[in-house]
Amino acid sequence: VSDSDPNLRGLTSLDIGATFRPFEWMGLGLVVRDLNTPLYDELPIQRSYDLDIAFRPLGNDRLEIVPGLRIGERRGEIDPHLRIEGTPLEGLSIFAHGELLRRDFYRGDAFHANDPTDTDVRVTLGARISLERISMAFSALIARSLPTGAPGHPMGAENATDIYQGAAVSLA
């Protein structure tokens, strides 16, 4: 989906989440994505649920390992993801996030929600610098679509790899 896609104009999605940390070394998280099931090309976007369990093997926030699952409401698929974040120095965090993500695909200019899905492998690598009143994060997203083998699928038997880079600055 690109920024020039006219179906994106006016599309608003609502996500909501909650976390619970019963112990310093463990936490639980739940996110409901696309709670309002917005329409894209007159078809509802699938609501999904992210369930995570965070482990802090050092007993503090210096290292966090977070396996999780994204569960699709309509199709019922279960997609795994894993995030690892470390803080080697006060104010510096390094993170990696990997996920398998199935998604609906496009044939020509049409959206096909009930056809076979693409599976993406996505890895995000980045660093965050947090000072007293300002923090900056830099990351790169590496994504690779895996072929489905479905007849007429636009990916055919080929793979595509894309690398996206981003930066964010926030003031506290």
User: Which range, 59-68, 129-138, 157-166, is most confident?
Assistant: 59-68
CA distance to 67, 83, 132, 134, 172, per residue, from 97 (Å): 10, 4, 26, 23, 25
CA distance to 19, 55, 65, per residue, from 68 (Å): 13, 11, 10
Q: How far apart are CA 74 and CA 76, in angstroms?
A: 6
Which candidate, 125, 163, 166, places its Cα nearest to that of 144? Answer: 163
Average of per-residue pLDDT across 106-132: 70
Which candidate, 104, 123, 141, places its Cα nearest to that of 1? Answer: 104
Specify the pLDDT at position 24: 93
The answer to which of 3-7, 152-156, 161-165 has the lowest mean pLDDT is 152-156
Average of per-residue pLDDT across 51-77: 93
Average of per-residue pLDDT across 99-109: 65
pLDDT bracket for residue 161 (50, 70, 90):
low
pLDDT in tens, 120-136: 888 989 999 988 888 88
The answer to which of 68-77, 110-119, 121-130 has the lowest mean pLDDT is 110-119
Residue 120: φ, ψ to 5°: -105, 145
pLDDT bracket for residue 166 (50, 70, 90):
low
Specify the pLDDT at position 10: 74
Which candidate, 113, 111, 119, 47, places its Cα nearest to that of 76? Answer: 47
pLDDT bracket for residue 84 (50, 70, 90):
very high
